[in-house]
Structure 1
């Protein structure tokens, strides 16, 4: 690699790293706020919130990398054009394609990162996140137990706990069960505990009383107990086998889907196959983004007013490539053989960048001055 290639590549990687950190921070904080409201408000600990936040990070990075590659390429090209460094290199005989060689290296490095993310890290994090969510959904004490509040875990159930001790004891519990028509049962206990069994969670109440009021005949029966076990099946369904979704599947499974796999994730074989090829093709949009961003700024000559027109062209072209990707996804998932459309957006984007490089080195016409 020549000294110029190393210099330009180092500039691209440095700006790419900076913009990636900024954008990942913005995206991550935005998602973390929603997670914080959902998890902490649902009674989960800060450790659970941190686990969920870290598991969402690979997908956030995957979304940010092409944008960072584009911004980095535009910023570096704009700076080198403004300082006439690229003009000097062109004057020494460097063609537009030669100037863009380190941009190709840069785009392929970013594409390699995205390949690892999309085919290894993101599916693994999605699977771990789904498993952790399933565990959290079965955690009755975190979902339903809030001291000092009347809560309604399900229709016909009202629960109140005066205080939850540090040892996990539920002090001064009140439970109203109105699920059976014409009958109301009230449970009170000085303290209670939760216990997990093979048939589901149980509520163990100590030193309490059961009052059952029958609407028919207006009869009230009172039973005092030293200990009593209440089945929590009404509060939470028994856990069943967890079904995976398409984001958790490996790329190998997506490229060769079976009918059983499609039934498990509730998708068609065509959509699974398209998703598998999309994981291979989508990383190369980073190459297209970097190439379009760099080549667009070579289209115009130096101007003291900057290169805003060229930047606008680059943004418009990138939006066009994204629109092609959106249309290709909607069509490719619905038709047989549509997996080939997964490669449409990256290939078209790269072709646009190559065309811009070719067009930028065409001789420009200079307007002749007309003298009176």
Structure 2
């Protein structure tokens, strides 16, 4: 007779290997599709492949956090369904293993997935996403100025366009024209014979030589021209670009659940609360989804010809729960009294499945204990 711990290790090893492979493959696929949005940074601004990979890799933890509950369900359903198809579950039942003993490897795998999802949602994803946004901001608003191309109108921002005729190997710029609309009602066109790029206080600036600054007064239509021998121009998008508004995905859990009224608009409080509760409840969905897969395979009589009805029902159940979760998050952002339903939707399916799977075993154990007491 096989030892129980040997069976646990055998099934758990299959579950964990499949979980790592499936989660990694699906996350890589999502990363590939999402990273295409940043190809323009490499092509249009001359960034290296290393910078591109470093930037996009910071999004990977968020992908893993999203797909891990789903892959936990898929792996649990697939592995146990294969064990049932190969008659291995039949042998285990004949050896005297209870439903709880059969489900124990799946429960361990689900618990590991739940803990990993907690770590991702509460610590890793906010930190990595914050680094991603900071890096993207730096590339788009600071490094862009150093990626000026010859003979191309480079749009550094919505209010700043730069053209250079020639760029020498030593970094000297020739034939410079700058369209600067950063100051309201004061559009300026700047021409310079030459210039060079410098960094001042971590900001890109261009030092212009032998040029002119032309401004047209919008009220009078009068042209004002200022000639200069040397002038320094800041190439950041605006003075307010240094303070970047943070996305909800970057905030900590305490900031989401207890936002500062001075920094958060009243209409956004519900959205932040939903994001906070989503981080708390998503790990429980990993456990609940795994329980749905276990119930689909372990509960019910074995069929020689296979049974696709229960696995198909499990898949449809999970799809319905995912749709319900999105609906509740959308409604909770508008009406905060519905937010507790997000927690119920994550936890209740797991509890119901546990009762369905282990309830008969618990009741039979109680009845046996009761009969033994009466017999004594």
Q: By how many angstroms is 1:109 displaced?
A: 0.6
CA contact (8 A) 2:58 2:128 kept: yes
* Residue of structure 1 equivalent to 2:272: 272
CA contact (8 A) 1:176 1:187 kept: no
User: CA offsets, 1:254-291, max 9 Å, x none?
Assistant: 3444423534x9721x4433432322221111111112
Alignment of 1:309 with 2:301, yes or no, is no
The farther-off stretch of 113-122 and 292-301 is 292-301
Secondary structure of 1:68 counterpart? helix
* Residue of structure 1 equivalent to 2:191: 187
Alignment of 1:125 with 2:124, yes or no, is no
Consecutive unaligned residues in structure 2, runs of 5 or more: 362-376
Secondary structure of 1:262 counterpart? coil
* Residue of structure 1 equivalent to 2:374: none
Q: By how many angstroms is 1:17 displaced?
A: 1.3
CA contact (8 A) 2:288 2:350 kept: yes
* Residue of structure 2 equivalent to 1:365: none
* Residue of structure 1 equivalent to 2:367: none
- TM-score (structure 1 length as normaliser): 0.80
CA distance in structure 2 between the aligned counterparts of 1:272 and 1:101, rounded to whole angstroms: 37
User: CA offsets, 1:73-119, max 9 Å, x none?
Assistant: 12211211111010122223333333212211110110000000000
User: CA offsets, 1:46-90, max 9 Å, x none?
Assistant: 333122112111101111211221121122112111110101222
Pick aligned residue for 1:78 from 81, 94, 103 = 81
CA contact (8 A) 1:300 1:307 kept: no
Alignment of 1:139 with 2:142, yes or no, is yes
RMSD after superposition: 3.7
Q: By how many angstroms is 1:204 displaced?
A: 1.7
* Residue of structure 2 equivalent to 1:245: 247
* Residue of structure 2 equivalent to 1:87: 90
* Residue of structure 1 equivalent to 2:117: 114
The farther-off stretch of 140-149 and 320-329 is 140-149
User: CA offsets, 1:195-231, max 9 Å, x none?
Assistant: 345797543223x4549699999999896x6x42153
CA distance in structure 2 between the aligned counterparts of 1:184 and 1:110, rounded to whole angstroms: 57
Matches within 5 A, 1:195-274: 195-197=198-200, 202-206=205-209, 208-210=210-212, 227-229=229-231, 231-232=233-234, 236-238=237-239, 239-260=241-262, 262-263=264-265, 267-268=268-269, 270-274=270-274
Compared CA separation, residues 344 and 193, structure 1 to 2 (3 A) = same
Pick aligned residue for 1:46 from 49, 57, 69 = 49
Alignment of 1:21 with 2:29, yes or no, is no
CA distance in structure 2 between the aligned counterparts of 1:18 and 1:72, rounded to whole angstroms: 10
CA distance in structure 1 between the aligned counterparts of 2:185 and 2:13, rounded to whole angstroms: 74
Consecutive unaligned residues in structure 1, runs of 5 or more: 362-372
CA contact (8 A) 2:45 2:148 kept: no
* Residue of structure 2 equivalent to 1:6: 9
CA distance in structure 2 between the aligned counterparts of 1:210 and 1:300, rounded to whole angstroms: 87
User: CA offsets, 1:117-166, max 9 Å, x none?
Assistant: 00000011122122223322331644772222134556797643233344
CA distance in structure 2 between the aligned counterparts of 1:323 and 1:156, rounded to whole angstroms: 41
Compared CA separation, residues 46 and 170, structure 1 to 2 (3 A) = farther
User: CA offsets, 1:329-369, max 9 Å, x none?
Assistant: 123333344442221222232135335536999xxxxxxxx
CA distance in structure 2 between the aligned counterparts of 1:287 and 1:79, rounded to whole angstroms: 20
- TM-score (structure 2 length as normaliser): 0.79
CA contact (8 A) 1:73 1:290 kept: yes
Q: By how many angstroms is 1:185 displaced?
A: 5.2
* Residue of structure 1 equivalent to 2:346: 346
Compared CA separation, residues 142 and 324, structure 1 to 2 (3 A) = same
CA contact (8 A) 2:144 2:156 kept: no
The farther-off stretch of 239-248 and 108-117 is 239-248
CA distance in structure 2 between the aligned counterparts of 1:185 and 1:259, rounded to whole angstroms: 41
